[in-house]
Chain A
Amino acid sequence: MTVLVLLDHTDAGEPRATAPELVALACSLGEAEGVWVGAAPLPAQLPSGLARVHRVAVANDWAPEGEHVAPVVSEAVAAVVDATGASVVLLASTFENKDVAARLGALHGAGVVTDADSVAVEHGTVVAGKTVLAGTWTTRVEVVAPLAVVLVKAGAADAAEPAAAPEVVEHAVAPSYVGGLVEVVERTERAGTGRPDLASAQTVIVGGRGTEGDFGPLEELADELGAAIGATRVATDEGWIAREAQVGQTGVTVSPRLYIGAGVSGAVHHRGGMQAAGTIVAVNNDPDAPIFEIADYGIVGDLFEVLPQATAELRRLRG
């Protein structure tokens, strides 16, 4: 069974953190082949285990800034599916890739599963595991179409090691008519934060309104724990931290081993994006805050007292 992995990369051609995870997962299902869309140069190394990588050039004097739009990427993936006879496509579960998957579903008959945290082949069919209803239920979903497109959450598999780039197969596609209608007026790629990627981090520390804009104590604890920093919508609306840090129903979904919420009330919209975390720690000075209903370890207290003390004690305990 041929399993295609869309190798998400920065505009400059650096693979995203999810790419080696998806390759490892693909290798566990069948023969893994990569799809690389656009003019960005292939890196010298790609995740190990790929039998081939299909580089799809977008033809027709296409403006490079439009190469990443969903209609173009979905045409590219569809072309490689046709060329290889692949029956499974794995994509990182991002909003952009959901648009790609939706087009593969609507135009190419694929069955699509979003936000999967596991993927297996059972009796010849693809079965994905996913949590639903804000992390309160777990389900197993079977794809009953000849082409399975599965959007996999960050952190669902251990990353494959880097290796020399495998055999490269070149393809060219002309953008579909609809793809050609999208004009990218402006695009600014954001630089990384220097911390682990929020969606896949093992430890996530989230600040809410209670921080009053001072994320200092969270940053210091994050340094100590190697954590990613997230935020509630209130904190991003206030401009205290970038939008992409928003955790919740309409932001990033995280399922780390450890979630620490500081000055976060635990509104249902926020819970939707973090309730699947392994251990939930909450620091809030209101004993009635709803986040205590789901916390494994709740502290009624002032985050500006509790977090610095925890950081100092961790340093002491660990020398």
Chain B
Amino acid sequence: MSIVRGGGTKVGQPARCRVTFPAVRIVVAVKHVPDIQADRTLGQDGRLARDGGDGTLNEVDENAVEAALVVAESAGGAEVIALTMGPDDAVDAARRALQMGADSAVHVLDEAAAGSDALGTAHVLAAAVRKIAEDGPVDLVVTGMAATDGLTSLVPAALAAELGIVALTLAVDVTVADGAVVVRRELDHADETLRAALPALVSVSDRANEARYPNFAAIMAARKKPVAVWSLADLGVPPDEVGSAGARTRILAAEPRPARKDRVLVTDTGDAGAQLAAYLVEHKLA
């Protein structure tokens, strides 16, 4: 199934579409994660304990929402739909996106999705984007560059692959004009500017923008915005394809790193540099 607008779509091949503003619809994927400032632990099964009650919107996803809103505003008020998959609490991530300015939200909530790896997550999110596209074509999907829990950075490109669209990842700058998206990215060894016709997926870096802070009025307004709750059955995703059942990786063992021993804290009284040199030599680090 294709998520693109317009006719002329050959089967199995998304069309190079022409999008004219202000018809843009944007889906922004947001994840609810345990707060990185709090103590995070793994359970016996090696899965992250997600019941600490101190979950929050994945920080970089605030940049993703901001990028989506800016594109929508420059397109004269396009529609922004926040999409999240996760347990009950995850709706908080979607709510935060609504407070920032997204128009509506979708929460994929299903016990069978628990324990999904990044590829399972992408599979479910792709099904959700296709369902969103039933009400009108989706032109742009925006994600963060990484979720701070697993830090895999796999979901964006996997989601785009499932949807049959281009992924322009790690954007520090995003511009949408004339039916195409242009992204500047800074990689380990190179700087690049990439361009692709819509529909496309963009993942944004924390350097892409400063995310807006919702004011009281925005927070109140968000309460009235619709949040659809969809199950795997609603998406037509067989439960054994995702969740722990469908995961292609399995955690065999997980252990906290042993505490650091023999730690030293000195206050410089004039010779700390020399002491440091001696420490490095003694420990064969220099």
Cβ contact of A106, chosen from B158, B252, B280, cutoff 8 A:
B158
B116 at the binding interface (Cβ < 8 Å): no
The distance from the CB of A195 to the nearest CB of chain B, in whole angstroms, is 14
Contacts of A301 in B (CB 8 A): 267-268, 272
Q: Is B111 an interface residue (CB 8 A)?
A: no
Q: Is B248 interfacial (CB-CB < 8 Å)? A: yes
Q: Which chain A residues lie closer than 8 Å to B260 at the CB level?
A: 280, 294, 296
Query: Are B285's CB and A145's CB within 8 A?
Result: no
Chain A 79-109 near chain B by CB (<8 Å), digits 1 or 0: 0000000000000001110111111011101
B150 contacts chain A at the CB level, 8 A cutoff: yes
Determine if A99 and B169 form an interchain contact, defined as CB atoms under 8 angstroms apart. yes
Closest CB of chain A to B225's CB: distance in Å?
Answer: 29
Contact indicator B154/A98 (Cβ below 8 Å): yes
Q: Out of A110, A142, A314, name the residue touching B277 (CB < 8 Å).
A: A314
Contact B278 A292 (CB under 8 A): no
B154 touches A112 (CB 8 A): yes
Q: Mark B241-253, 1 if CB is under 8 A from A, else 0.
A: 0000001111111
Interface residues of B in 142-172 (CB under 8 A from A): 145-146, 148, 150-162, 164-170
Tell me whether A96 and B187 are in contact in the complex, defined as CB-CB below 8 angstroms, given that A103-B158, A306-B276 are known contacts: yes
A310 to B276, CA, bound (A): 6
Number of chain B residues close to chain A: CB under 8 A: 88
B46 within 8 A of A: yes
Contact of B192 with A184 in the complex, beta carbons under 8 Å: yes
Determine the residue in chain B with the shortest Cβ distance to A315.
Answer: B277
Main secondary structure on B side of the interface with A? mixed
B280 engages A314 (CB within 8 Å)? yes
Contact digits for A31-60, partner B, Cβ 8 Å, 1 yes 0 no? 000000000000000000000000000000
Say yes or no for B211: interface residue by CB 8 A criterion: no
How far, in whole Å, are A27 and B109 apart by their CA atoms in the complex?
44
A229 to B190, CA, bound (A): 18
Give B276 Cβ to nearest chain A Cβ, in Å: 5
Beyond known contacts A102-B119, A250-B146: 15 more, CB 8 A cutoff: A95-B153, A98-B157, A99-B169, A100-B157, A102-B154, A102-B155, A105-B118, A112-B248, A185-B182, A190-B191, A249-B151, A272-B148, A279-B285, A299-B267, A313-B278
**Can you give 13 A-B contacts (C-beta < 8 A)?**
A16-B189, A107-B161, A115-B151, A132-B254, A139-B251, A140-B252, A141-B252, A144-B249, A178-B166, A250-B207, A296-B263, A300-B265, A313-B276
A interface with B by C-beta (< 8 Å): 10-11, 16, 69-71, 94-96, 98-103, 105-107, 109-115, 127, 131-145, 177-178, 181-190, 199, 203, 224-225, 233, 237, 243-244, 249-250, 252, 257-258, 268-269, 272, 276, 279-281, 283, 287, 292, 294-302, 305-314, 317-318
